[in-house]
Homo-oligomer: A and B are copies of this chain.
Amino acid sequence: MIFQEKIAGVMESHDSFVCVGLDSDYTKLPEAVKTKQYAQYAFNQAIIDATHDLVCAYKPNTAFYEARGVKGIQELKWTCEYIHEHYPEVPIILDAKRADIGNTNNGYVSFAYDYLEVDAVTVHPYLGKEAIQPFLDRKDKGTIILCRTSNPGAGELQDIKVEGKPFYLHLAEKISKKWNENENCLLVVGATYPEEMKQIREVTGDMTFLVPGIGAQGGDIKATLEAGLNSNKEGLIVSSSRGVIFASNGEDFAENEREETLKLRNQINQYR
């Protein structure tokens, strides 16, 4: 199934814009989980079982798995398989922030779509459309391009003025008009910058945004929804990672995560 249709379906059936980021940093896992042989996988299973009916997507970030080398990649693969097997309706966004020259990107495309069988990948724009074409060519998958990121120093390059307009707006226009031929482009737009999000919404029509930065990074839900909803009152995948998955360090961590996810879903739905 096409990514955009798959996520739209689960957004409706789960009444949720919440994407839970599986940023399962081994060093931060609850003590009760850390002692298990496959700790990242066990942790993810518990989170997924506790939240699957409340989310529109899961988003593992590769950095937290790569940090552990082969072990981590194995547990990432098992995590994806677990979702495919038990909750096949929920799409997986691989937060990999990859991008190389075209020929080389085929390797990343294989990793994401053939090996892990995820539904979408985040990518860097800096090498241009021609380079990321192997991602764009996968019509059934989502190519989620970094546009205005959520980190404190995001503006250093992204805000540089080009003909009076910030760079990220030029990029947003370019993606929306030229890169989106297969209608499979999405943008990363951080919740920590609602003003910027509003401008990006104005130039991209109804394109969907993946929105990190709610929770630990300080993004405001109301401001984000007001700035980012599209003309159908949709178009936002609101990602929370640390705020949800490390809500509790005790043995009841999964219950706590469910509560946090439910709270976030309801807070978001208030402003839809």
Contacts and interface: CB of A to CB of B under 8 A. Distances in A.
Interface of A: 23, 25, 61-70, 73-74, 77, 95, 97-102, 104-108, 110-111, 114-116, 124-131, 146, 149-158, 160-163, 167, 170-171, 174, 212
Contacts of A110: 66-68
Given A61-B104, A64-B104, A106-B67, A153 B126 contact: no
10 contacts: A68-B110, A70-B73, A70-B74, A70-B77, A97-B99, A126-B158, A130-B156, A131-B149, A157-B174, A160-B167
A272 to B, nearest CB: 27
Given A128-B155, A162-B167, 19 more contacts: A61-B100, A61-B107, A63-B100, A64-B104, A67-B111, A67-B115, A68-B110, A69-B111, A70-B70, A97-B98, A97-B99, A97-B100, A124-B124, A124-B126, A126-B157, A127-B149, A128-B153, A131-B151, A157-B174
